[in-house]
Amino acid sequence: MDYSFPRETLWRTASKITISAHLFGILANILMLIWLLHYREGMDLDSSNPYRIFNVHPFLMFFGFIFLIGEAMMAYKTVPADRQTQKFVHMFLNLSALVLGIVGIHATFKFHDKMNMLDMYSLHSWIGIGTFCLFILQWLFGFSLFVFPKASAVTRARLAPWHVFGGRALLYMAICAAETGLMQKFTFLQLTNNRESYLINFLALAILLFGITVDISVSLGRFA
Amino acid sequence: MDYSFPRETLWRTASKITISAHLFGILANILMLIWLLHYREGMDLDSSNPYRIFNVHPFLMFFGFIFLIGEAMMAYKTVPADRQTQKFVHMFLNLSALVLGIVGIHATFKFHDKMNMLDMYSLHSWIGIGTFCLFILQWLFGFSLFVFPKASAVTRARLAPWHVFGGRALLYMAICAAETGLMQKFTFLQLTNNRESYLINFLALAILLFGITVDISVSLGRFA
């Protein structure tokens, strides 16, 4: 069987999939806000209500981390500018994700502290912290390789695919962290069939579809 | 920057990643068996103990479904035979996954029935059943396109990338289903820091790494 890919078709579809990725990401952000502001207690990192502190965590870990790294991965396609600008946007979005991710992780430790709860025992926390530590390494690796002190063109070309694969694997892991986190909260809230449970499930599906569409969008770019 | 991939390096690394995928898959199967047989009640689909019925579910959904579809995805690299044989192995492993997946899903409905528990309310069940239904469609699509009645060579070449992307997205979804399922069971068991909780977390990490390594192994094949 011939494995040649019809480039033109792939390019056209790639742009449709990139648009879907944006839409799933925006949908997930909207559902997240409806959940936290309407069904839950709202968000405030300095609140006396520990649940308002906790709620900063899911919001920042999706909007501030997953959504931004997804958009950063697609920046080479979506930013209508020269390659240097695209590269800067890619680096800057990932740096913002790093900073907002630290604040988001801080929120959950502060919540555990106020509630005298154990830290770092659940699968969600293991996947989450593992992903975040590897993400910091990936950012430092990317920055030193492609920005400053910047490797030679040959080295960059040799290592670029591993940067891409690393990023895709990290997105995969971050999505798993989000899904397990929502699953954990869902079980703690002892939800079964009600409006809030449907909302959380649709939110989680939107996050999953964001991950899949970003991944396919990035992979398609590699072929074409 | 030059995006040419040094093929030879990629090929050598691809085979190492494929071996890692096998090892993570085998590790996950071993950890799963230790968990279900030593820490839990064991497995029996016809038991009077509903928990022994339930335990068939995680085992078959990993060994029977995720592990087999992962191995099926890598069959074009790992089976030392001609392309027709590789294709048959790929089809047959996916068919086995379909059958064992149905038995595995049956186990959990039977458990819910015995325990008078609600079905299909959790995120895990939504992702799981969604993945499985799409997997059946993907199998039927693949079979009719590539085996019988088999499309023309041009159509096959045009649709092959979508079959590959569909399979990768389904693997992604299946891993999320596994992670949320283990997270749900973990929370129901009210585990915190003990041997069983570490075992479940390492099992879930092995499953996640199996997914990532299979995905990268398959993607690398596309470049090289």
Which of A122, A160, A191 shows the shortest C-beta gap to B186? A122
Section B57-74 average pLDDT = 98
- Best of A124, A180, A203 to substitute, by most chain B Cβ atoms within 10 angstroms, is A180
What pLDDT is attached to residue B106? 97
**Residue B64 clears pLDDT 60, i.e. is over it:** yes
Mean pLDDT of B109-115: 96
Helix (H) or strand (E) holding B94: helix B83-114
Q: Do B215 and A161 touch (CB under 8 A)?
A: no
Q: Measured between CB atoms, which of B6, B180, B187 is closest to A188?
A: B187
What are the tens digits of pLDDT across the range B122-162?
999 999 999 999 999 999 999 999 999 999 999 998 888 88
User: Is the pLDDT at A210 greater than 80, yes or no?
Assistant: yes
Average pLDDT score over residue span B12-27: 92
**Percentage with pLDDT > 70 across chain B:** 95
Q: What is the pLDDT of residues A78-128, one digit of tens each?
A: 999 999 999 999 999 999 999 999 999 999 999 999 999 999 999 999 999
Both tokens of A110, joined, read: 């502060």
Shortest distance between the Cα of B28 and any Cα of chain A, in A, equals 15
The 10s digit of each residue's pLDDT in A164-188 is 999 999 999 999 999 999 999 999 9
Contacts of A3 in chain B (CB under 8 A): 157, 160
pLDDT-derived band of residue A4, with 50, 70 and 90 as boundaries?
low
Position with higher pLDDT, B120 vs A3: B120
Most confident of A5-19, A28-42, A180-194: A28-42
- Distance from the Cα of A178 to chain B's closest Cα (Å) equals 10
The model's pLDDT over A127-168, given as tens digits with 9 standing for 90+, comes to: 999 999 999 999 999 999 999 999 999 999 888 888 999 999
If you search the block for the tokens 């075992």, which residue do you land on? B199
Nearest by CB: A4 against B130, B157, B219? B157
Q: What is the mean pLDDT of chain B?
A: 93
- Give which of B120, B125, B23, B11 is closest to B70, Cα–Cα: B23
- Select from A10, A12, A75, A61 the least CA-distant residue to A32: A61
Q: Which of A6, A161, A175 sits opposite B176 (nearest CB)?
A: A175
Decide if pLDDT at A222 tops 70: no
The backbone torsions φ and ψ at residue A119, rounded to the nearest 5 degrees and listed phi first, read -100, 155
pLDDT tops 80 at residue B4: no
Which residue in the set B160, B183, B208 is minimally distant from A3, CB to CB?
A: B160
pLDDT at B157: 87
Averaged over B58-76, what is the pLDDT?
97
User: B154 to chain A: nearest residue by CA?
Assistant: A2
The DSSP letter of residue B149 is S
Q: How confident is the model at residue A219 (pLDDT cuts 50, 70, 90)?
A: confident
Closest CA in chain B for residue A175:
B176
Say what the pLDDT of residue B68 is: 98
Q: Do A173 and B126 touch (CB under 8 A)?
A: no
Per-residue confidence (pLDDT) for residue B1, from 0 to 100? 40
Burial readout B168-186 (b: 16 or more C-beta within 10 A, e: otherwise): bbbbbbbbbbbbbbbbbbb
Output the pLDDT for position B222: 60
From chain A, the residues in CB contact with B186 under 8 A are: 122-123
More confident residue, B190 or A101: A101
Contact A169 B212 (CB under 8 A): yes
Q: For residue B21, list chain A residues with Cβ-Cβ distance below 8 A.
A: none
Angle at Cα B135 formed by Cα B134 and Cα B136, nearest 5°?
Answer: 90
Q: Could you read off the pLDDT of B77-95 as tens digits, one per residue?
A: 899 999 999 999 999 999 9
Burial class (CB in 10 A: 0-12, 13-18, 19+), A54: buried
Q: From chain B, pick out residues whose CB is under 8 angstroms from the CB of A187.
A: 122, 183-184, 187-188
Over residues B41-45, mean pLDDT: 96
Instruction: Give the lowest-confidence range in B6-20, B115-129, B173-187.
Output: B6-20
The burial of A104, by beta-carbon neighbours within 10 Å (0-12 exposed, 13-18 middle, 19 or more buried), is given as buried
pLDDT band at A221 (very low <50, low <70, confident <90, very high): low
Residues of chain B positioned with their CB less than 8 A from the CB of A161: 5, 10, 223
> What confidence score (pLDDT) does residue B224 get?
37
Q: What is the pTM of this model?
A: 0.95
Instruction: Give the Cα separation of A124 and A183 in Å (integer).
Output: 9
Residues 6+ apart with CB under 8 A from B210: B21, B24, B25, B28, B66, B67, B70, B175
**A53-86 pLDDT, tens digit each:** 999 999 999 999 999 999 999 999 899 999 999 9
Q: Which helix (H) or strand (E) holds A175?
A: helix A153-188
